[in-house]
C-alpha cells in the first residue's frame, strides 16, 4: 500500500482556456432523492445511487477529498472486519514497521475478491471515472478512463498489473500510517476510497484520516477527515488540478492515518487499479 513514487507526469502547463472549461463546464447530474432515514435499508447499489455526486465532485475539486456518509451498514462493516483473520482470502500481509511505513499492518485481498469488496469497486468506479477524465483534461494528461471498471482492469492486466489492490488495514494503540501515495504501476486511477469499519470513540480513539496537499511555492495544507463507522472518503491518489491565474495546475497529495490513542481500528481500502 505504501508505494511512494515520484510524479509520473511532468508538470506541463495545459492550455488555460480548455483546461478551465474541463472543470467549470462539466454537466450537472440530476440530484438524487434524499436517502431514507435508515441508510442501511436497501442494497449497496441503491445507497451509491442516493449519494449526491455533484456535491461530492465539488468537494473533490475544492479539497481533493469528499466524504460519503453511511456507505456501508454497521453489519457490513462487522462482516468485513471478521474477514481479517482469514489468511486464505488475502495474497499478502505487510507489517508497516518493517518497511518504515508507520506502525500497524495491512493485507491485500486475493482474487476472487469478497463479493462486497468487488461490488464496491464496480459500483463506485462509474461514478468516479467522469471526474477522473475531467481532471486529466484539465491537467493536460491524455489518459482517459472507460465507463466500466472491468474495461479498466483489462487495461491494467494487459500491462502486467494483475495483482489485486483492495486491502484491509488494522491498527492498534500507538499505530499510525505515514503519508504516502498508492500508485503500484503505469496505470493509475486517480481516485480511491477508504471506508472506516470501526466506531470512533468506542472501538478506538485518535487515528484520524489525514491528507496533505503541496502547491508550488506554498507550504503544505493539511486536511483531517472525521469519519464514522461505515463512512467513506474518496480522495486523490496522486495529484489534482487547481485553478491558477494562468489556468489549472497540478498539486501533489499524500494521505495517511494519525496515531491511535487507544483501541483497534480497521479500514477497507478500495483502489481501482491493480499492481504489477
Give per-residue pLDDT as tens, 235-248: 999 888 888 778 78
Burial of 66 (0-12, 13-18, 19+ CB in 10 A): buried
Q: Please, which pLDDT band fits residue 26 given cuts at 50, 70 and 90?
A: low
pTM of the predicted structure, to 2 decimals: 0.83
Question: Mean pLDDT of all residues in the chain?
Answer: 86
User: For 183-218, what is each residue's pLDDT tens digit?
Assistant: 888 999 999 999 999 999 999 999 999 998 887 777
Average pLDDT over residues 72-94: 97
The dihedral built from the CA positions of residue 180, 84, 224 and 48, taken in this order, carries a sign that is positive
DSSP 159-204: TT--B---EEEEEETT-EEEEE----SS---SEEEEEE-S-BTTTE
The pLDDT > 70 percentage for the chain reads 85
Judge whether residue 9 has pLDDT over 50: no
Please, are residues 101 and 268 in contact by the beta-carbon 8 Å criterion? no
Judge whether residue 117 has pLDDT over 80: yes
pLDDT at 244: 79
pLDDT at 97: 93
Collapsed DSSP state (helix, strand, coil) of residue 268: strand
pLDDT at 33: 38
Judge whether residue 225 has pLDDT over 80: yes
Task: Tell me which residue of 196, 219, 164, 213 sits closest to 64, measured CA to CA.
Answer: 213
Average pLDDT over residues 136-141: 93
Q: Please, which pLDDT band fits residue 23 given cuts at 50, 70 and 90?
A: low
pLDDT at 19: 46
Q: Please, which pLDDT band fits residue 108 given cuts at 50, 70 and 90?
A: very high
Amino acid at each position: 500500500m505504501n508505494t511512494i513514487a515520484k510524479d509520473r507526469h511532468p508538470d506541463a502547463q495545459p492550455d488555460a482556456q480548455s483546461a478551465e472549461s474541463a472543470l467549470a463546464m462539466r454537466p450537472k447530474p440530476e440530484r438524487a432523492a434524499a436517502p431514507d432515514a435508515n441508510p442501511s435499508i436497501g442494497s449497496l447499489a441503491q445507497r451509491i445511487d442516493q449519494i449526491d455526486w455533484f456535491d461530492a465532485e465539488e468537494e473533490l475539486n475544492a479539497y481533493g477529498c469528499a466524504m460519503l456518509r453511511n456507505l456501508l451498514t454497521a453489519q457490513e462493516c462487522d462482516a468485513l472486519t471478521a474477514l481479517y483473520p482469514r489468511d486464505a482470502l488475502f495474497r499478502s500481509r505487510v507489517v508497516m514497521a518493517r518497511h518504515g511505513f508507520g506502525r500497524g499492518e495491512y493485507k491485500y485481498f486475493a482474487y476472487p475478491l469478497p463479493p462486497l469488496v468487488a461490488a464496491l469497486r464496480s459500483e463506485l468506479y462509474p461514478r468516479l471515472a467522469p471526474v477522473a477524465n475531467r481532471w486529466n483534461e484539465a491537467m493536460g494528461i491524455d489518459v482517459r478512463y472507460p465507463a466500466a471498471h472491468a474495461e479498466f482492469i483489462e487495461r491494467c492486466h494487459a500491462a502486467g498489473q494483475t495483482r489485486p489492490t483492495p486491502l484491509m488495514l488494522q491498527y492498534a494503540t500507538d499505530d499510525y500510517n505515514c503519508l504516502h501515495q498508492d500508485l503500484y504501476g503505469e496505470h493509475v486511477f486517480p481516485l480511491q476510497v477508504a471506508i472506516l469499519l470501526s466506531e470512533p470513540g468506542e472501538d478506538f480513539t485518535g487515528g484520524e484520516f489525514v491528507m496533505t496537499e503541496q502547491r508550488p511555492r506554498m507550504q503544505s495544507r493539511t486536511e483531517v477527515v472525521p469519519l464514522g463507522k461505515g463512512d467513506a472518503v474518496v480522495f486523490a491518489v496522486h495529484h489534482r488540478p487547481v485553478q491558477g491565474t494562468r489556468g489549472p495546475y497540478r498539486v501533489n497529495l499524500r494521505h495517511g492515518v494519525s496515531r491511535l490513542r487507544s483501541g483497534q481500528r480497521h479500514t477497507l481500502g478500495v483502489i481501482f487499479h491493480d499492481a504489477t
